[in-house]
Amino acid sequence: MKIIVCLKQVPKNDSILRINEQGNWIQDRDLTYEINESDAYGLEAALQLKEKHGGEVIALSLGPPRVQTVIKEALARGADRGLHLEDTVFDGLDAFGIASVIAAAAKAEGFDLLLTGLQSDDYGFAQTGVIAAELLGLPHATIVMDVESKEGTIRVKRELESGFFQWVSMPAPAVLTIQSGINTLRYATLKGIMAAKKKEIKKLDAAAVGVDQASLAPKMAFRRVYLPQKSKQTQFIEGTPAEIASKLMDKLKNEARVF
Amino acid sequence: MEKIERDSLEVDVLFVGAGPASLAGALRLRQIINEHNETAGEHGRKKLEEITIAVIEKGREIGSHIISGAVMDLRPLEELLPNFRELGAPLDSEVTEEDVSYLTRHFKIKSPIIPPPLNNHGKYVVSLNKLIRWLGPIVEESDVMLLPEFPGAELLYDGDRVIGVRTGDRGIGRDGERKENYAPGADIFARVTVIGEGSRGSLTKKLVEKLNLDHDRNPQVYAAGVKEIWELPSGRVKPGFIMHTLGYPLPNDTFGGGFVYGMKNDLLDVGLIVGLDYQDPFTDPHRLFQEFKQHPAIAKMLEGGKMLHYGAKTIPEGGLFSQPKYYGDGFLIIGDSASFLNSQKLKGIHMAMKSGMLAAETIYEALVADQFDEQQLSRFEAMIEDSYIHKELYQVRNFHQAFRNGRRWGLIEAGLQYATGGFGLFGDLKTEAGHEKMKKLHVFNRLPRTSGDVPQLEPVKYDNKLTFDKVTDVYRSGTEHNEDQPSHLKVLDFNICIKRCTFEYGNPCQYFCPAAVYEAEEVNGGRRPKINFSNCVHCKTCDIMDPYQIIDWVTPEGGGGPNYINL
């Protein structure tokens, strides 16, 4: 089984965020980075499938040179080789643009499964995997919690609302977007880190992937990014438990009007 | 018992802890080996082929646990990387304006002259954190293996000879049981192990104890430093402005002082150093720091600003006479771990780097001789004694001891020491470990009035603008630990906390910890700490200051700890 896992490098979620001068995104000053959370679970799912069925796991990341850290981390955890999509043309792409580049690179590589995380921690679009599937003309499933593979058929467990699940089957190749927390992430071992040094990371630019700037032109733009305004206030109710309970009921009835 | 399959790795030289000492040492060693190999043919010497150098680090990234003041003496950096400017070293600003002041509760009295030891002309305000994040990749490119997320959990011995380090296990749950992703620590064997763990290193502590390396030396004394980085309205901060203060809020019997350093991009460094040899068990360095910021002179500087980052770290300031023997069979100790720090200027970065670089020279000779025993490695001491860092340590060898009877006498005595090349009035002075100076509650009239009435410091309210509680500050240190692991703060006997400490010292762990790790809980009429280990910023204050010495700080799962930026 040949699996490509898409790994996005995102700012750590406790970073100090400063809005840039244009007011349409954050500055990269003082940011530290990590693997997008759900992508890390995608990688683990891929590694577990490989352990079961054999084959190959390819770690793919798109972005500036710093994203190689993410690829190296994946190689240290057990991915077989890396694909680094890097070109200034890729700067500032929207989900459609990113999906177009990934789809082209994945198509050239060939695969049985293309995995992405459910959504990225920074943009949170949850579109990249789905658009890539459409561009490739392949079946896809989102919010995937479990993956089984049998004779060219992929069977996945999807999360629905309110604790319900759904099992769906589809033929491979397919694209899956993986939910966070579905497995236990492994650690990079010393042996893995040593082995990773010898693994290949192939760099591909726009020409190598076969995409041109015009076809990637963003169809969506950020108009304004701003910090959320604090609008909620916490009130402390004091008194004996009985008094607190009755005051709370009063507030719920008359102020919040939930009853 | 089931045998654990561990990864193992053999290297020639292993540095423990990726701080300024180890990184400078590893890079210098690679440079010397390269120089040797380039000229080996001409001199008919054997090349040093395939020497492997590794650095292990407990932090998530190289630099994430690095924090310092800092005003830096650039000499070692100039020696190590003469082209550091072209390489884009993040030095921030040259010192342009200095202020040394004494603070009373309401006033600031500026010293008309800068006392010579505090003169920082030609030095640079730096973020050590940024400097290390910059230096890491340079070291890695020189063919040194950097291994973040691998804490040194224990030293490996062959008899009394250090032969390497076992890294920490991962994937152990809070109940001590192995989880699905259990990954045992690896054994890294080395011909020389260089310990550069920083202040109060957990391996250093055990090594010093085992081999009696502090025999005939003064016990180490420490200070705790807490600081915040503030972002101020544009144009208010003068980069290169530095201010040092004495006095308020520290009582006369407590060593330490405040600092304010101006950096680029409207950032201001504000911090307070508190000697960890104070007497009052209710001393709380974080709380004192909040009081320091409320002093009118400091509050005015911070007005309209925003606190961005927080961090805390201990500083070894015992000086020359507190240095353990820093070499032995198979090992060297460098940087803060070996107390290479000028206790008068509280400057240690240059000494850490230089000690690492001299360790590199020592190891180079050892590699050529193919000898790694104590006698061969004792060359380290000779090299140190020939260097400028020894000269500097010697001049201030009695500085911290001068303050044993409080600040007033200390300043006078330190002045006399300065005039006499370090000798002072009394010659070379002994000292005692800081935790032994802590006095019991009754000395401060803080005994429980009725039985069951356990004395406790009144909590204060912080305004979240100028002053912050510990938990808010910890959030600003980026600290994170996997919650599902055993606590890395081992309290050896909770009975002592409940039965004795509550009544004798009032559980001072809840005060001296600057990260709200220890929370006092009532148990059987006494108190014991509930340990919120995931708050731990790895400063080691608890390991140092606990009056019964029953707190043992060990390394948590690799990658846990602060994520310092700009600090």
Cβ contact B308–A16 (<8 Å): yes
pLDDT of res. B490: 97
Region of B304 on the Ramachandran plot (φ > 0 left; ψ -120 to 50 alpha; else beta): left
Asked if pLDDT for residue B409 goes beyond 90, the answer is: no
Q: How many domains does chain A have?
A: 1
A200-211 confidence digits (pLDDT tens) = 999 999 999 999
CB B457 within 8 A of CB B511: yes
CATH of the domain at B71: 3.50.50.60
In a domain, B423, yes or no: yes
User: Closest to A32 (Cβ–Cβ): which among B61, B181, B558?
Assistant: B61
The answer to whether residues B439 and B509 belong to one domain is: yes
Interface test with A, best of B5, B7, B65, B474 (most A CBs within 10 A): B7
- Neighbouring residues of B558: CB distance < 8 A, sequence distance ≥ 6: A187, B58, B148, B149, B150, B151, B167, B168, B170
Contacting residues of B for A187, CB less than 8 Å apart: 149, 170-171, 181, 183, 558
Angle at A92 between CA A91 and CA A96, to 5 degrees: 110
Range of the domain at A13: 2-216
B150 to chain A, any CB pair closer than 8 A? The answer is yes
Range of the domain at B304: 91-126+221-316
In a domain, B2, yes or no: no
Q: Which of A50, A21, A72, A39 is CA-nearest to residue A200? A: A72
Asked if pLDDT for residue A3 goes beyond 80, the answer is: yes
User: Closest to A190 (Cβ–Cβ): which among B9, B475, B480?
Assistant: B9
The answer to whether residues B121 and B269 belong to one domain is: yes
Asked if pLDDT for residue B1 goes beyond 70, the answer is: no
Cβ contact B475–A14 (<8 Å): yes
Contacting residues of B for A184, CB less than 8 Å apart: 179-181
B565 to chain A, any CB pair closer than 8 A? The answer is yes
Interface test with A, best of B52, B92, B146, B563 (most A CBs within 10 A): B563
In a domain, B37, yes or no: yes
The answer to whether residues B248 and B305 belong to one domain is: yes
Task: pLDDT band for A155, please (50, 70, 90 cuts).
Answer: very high
Asked if pLDDT for residue A164 goes beyond 90, the answer is: yes
Asked if pLDDT for residue B9 goes beyond 60, the answer is: yes
Smallest CA–CA distance, residue A12 to chain B, in Å, is 9
Task: pLDDT band for A176, please (50, 70, 90 cuts).
Answer: very high
End residue of a domain, out of B266, B300, B316: B316
DSSP B246: E
CB B27 within 8 A of CB B138: yes
- Tokens 């960890």 sit on residue: B276
pLDDT of res. B263: 96
Asked if pLDDT for residue B425 goes beyond 80, the answer is: no
Smallest CA–CA distance, residue B473 to chain A, in Å, is 13
CB B548 within 8 A of CB B501: yes
Task: pLDDT band for B184, please (50, 70, 90 cuts).
Answer: very high
In a domain, B561, yes or no: no
Return the SS3 of B158.
Answer: strand
In a domain, A23, yes or no: yes
Contacting residues of A for B170, CB less than 8 Å apart: 187
Smallest CA–CA distance, residue A187 to chain B, in Å, is 7
Contacting residues of A for B171, CB less than 8 Å apart: 187
Smallest CA–CA distance, residue A100 to chain B, in Å, is 32
Return the SS3 of B57.
Answer: strand
The answer to whether residues B273 and B159 belong to one domain is: no
B167 to chain A, any CB pair closer than 8 A? The answer is yes
B535 to chain A, any CB pair closer than 8 A? The answer is no
B13-68 confidence digits (pLDDT tens) = 999 999 999 999 999 999 999 999 999 888 788 999 999 999 999 999 999 999 99
A54-98 confidence digits (pLDDT tens) = 999 999 999 999 999 999 999 999 999 999 999 999 999 999 999
User: Closest to A14 (Cβ–Cβ): which among B7, B180, B478?
Assistant: B478
Asked if pLDDT for residue B354 goes beyond 60, the answer is: yes
Average pLDDT value for residue range B85-92 = 95
The answer to whether residues B542 and B448 belong to one domain is: yes
User: Closest to A185 (Cβ–Cβ): which among B181, B480, B558?
Assistant: B181
Average pLDDT value for residue range A216-234 = 89
Burial class (CB in 10 A: 0-12, 13-18, 19+), B122: exposed
- How far apart are the C-alpha atoms of B11 and B191, rounded to whole Å? 7
Neighbours of B264 (CB within 10 A): 14
Smallest CA–CA distance, residue B240 to chain A, in Å, is 20
In a domain, A238, yes or no: no
The answer to whether residues B252 and B384 belong to one domain is: no
For chain B positions 222-281, those within 8 Å of chain A (CB to CB) are 265
A213 to chain B, any CB pair closer than 8 A? The answer is no
The answer to whether residues B268 and B325 belong to one domain is: no
Cβ contact B478–A187 (<8 Å): no
Cβ contact B565–A193 (<8 Å): no
Contacting residues of B for A14, CB less than 8 Å apart: 475, 478, 480, 563
User: Closest to B563 (Cβ–Cβ): which among A12, A29, A193?
Assistant: A12
In a domain, B463, yes or no: yes
Q: How many domains does chain B have?
A: 4
Average pLDDT value for residue range B117-124 = 88
In a domain, A234, yes or no: no
Q: Which of B14, B153, B63 is CA-nearest to residue B561? A: B63
The answer to whether residues B241 and B339 belong to one domain is: no
- How far apart are the C-alpha atoms of A198 and A192, rounded to whole Å? 10
Which range has the top average pLDDT, A69-83, A219-233, A236-250?
A69-83
Smallest CA–CA distance, residue A67 to chain B, in Å, is 14
Average pLDDT, chain A: 95
In a domain, A249, yes or no: no
Peptide bond just before B338 cis, omega within 30 deg: no
Smallest CA–CA distance, residue B166 to chain A, in Å, is 12
In a domain, B354, yes or no: yes
Contacting residues of A for B265, CB less than 8 Å apart: 29
pLDDT of res. B548: 97
Which range has the top average pLDDT, B105-119, B176-190, B414-428, B441-455?
B176-190
- How far apart are the C-alpha atoms of A41 and B105, rounded to whole Å? 55
Angle at A176 between CA A184 and CA A186, to 5 degrees: 20
Average pLDDT value for residue range B74-96 = 96
What is the percentage of chain A residues whose pLDDT exceeds 70?
100
Asked if pLDDT for residue B204 goes beyond 90, the answer is: yes
A29-39 confidence digits (pLDDT tens) = 889 999 999 99
pLDDT of res. B448: 56
Q: What is the ipTM of this complex?
A: 0.89
Size of interface A-B (CB pairs under 8 A): 44
- Tokens 């190959």 sit on residue: A56
Cβ contact B183–A191 (<8 Å): no
CATH of the domain at A208: 3.40.50.620
Q: B478 to chain A: nearest residue by CA?
A: A14
pLDDT of res. A240: 92
A195 to chain B, any CB pair closer than 8 A? The answer is no
pLDDT of res. B458: 84
The answer to whether residues B68 and B143 belong to one domain is: yes
Asked if pLDDT for residue B451 goes beyond 60, the answer is: no
User: Closest to A184 (Cβ–Cβ): which among B64, B150, B181?
Assistant: B181
What is the percentage of chain B residues whose pLDDT exceeds 70?
98
pLDDT of res. B429: 83
Q: Which of B18, B28, B41, B43 is CA-nearest to residue B146? A: B18
Contacting residues of A for B167, CB less than 8 Å apart: 190
Burial class (CB in 10 A: 0-12, 13-18, 19+), B352: buried
Scanning B192-326, the segments in alpha helix (DSSP H) are 202-211, 285-294, 296-302
Cβ contact A194–B9 (<8 Å): yes
B9 to chain A, any CB pair closer than 8 A? The answer is yes
- How far apart are the C-alpha atoms of B548 and B500, rounded to whole Å? 10
The answer to whether residues B149 and B263 belong to one domain is: no
- Which contiguous run of DSSP H or E holds residue B475? helix B470-475
A194 to chain B, any CB pair closer than 8 A? The answer is yes
Average pLDDT value for residue range B432-460 = 79
Q: A186 to chain B: nearest residue by CA?
A: B181
pLDDT of res. B419: 82
In a domain, B443, yes or no: yes
The answer to whether residues B34 and B73 belong to one domain is: yes
Cβ contact A187–B150 (<8 Å): no
What is the percentage of chain B residues whose pLDDT exceeds 90?
83
In a domain, B560, yes or no: no
The two structure tokens encoding residue B506: 């009032």
Cβ contact A184–B179 (<8 Å): yes
Q: B563 to chain A: nearest residue by CA?
A: A32
The answer to whether residues B212 and B247 belong to one domain is: no
Asked if pLDDT for residue B453 goes beyond 70, the answer is: no
User: A29 or B126: whose pLDDT is higher?
Assistant: B126
